[in-house]
């Protein structure tokens, strides 16, 4: 489970702010 969490954190950190904004907007709808 810890390894999965680290993978997710790594992907979040490598994501650009623009990509994060798009995902946040989709999740907010």
CA dist., res. 7 & res. 23, Å (int): 18
Angstrom distance (rounded) from CA 12 to CA 16: 8
What is the model's pLDDT at position 1?
61
- Domain hosting 24: range is 1-29
Tens digit of pLDDT per residue, the chain (29 long)? 688 888 888 887 777 888 888 888 899 88
How many structural domains compose the chain? 1
CA distance 28 to 3: 28
What sign results for the dihedral spanned by CA atoms 13, 11, 16, 20?
Answer: negative
The per-residue pLDDT for 2 is 81
User: Terminus-to-terminus CA distance in the chain, angstroms?
Assistant: 29
The secondary element (H helix, E strand) that includes residue 10 is helix 2-14
């Amino acid at each position: 489970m810890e390894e999965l969490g680290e993978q997710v954190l790594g992907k979040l950190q490598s994501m650009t702010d623009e990509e994060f904004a798009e995902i946040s907007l989709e999740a907010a709808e």
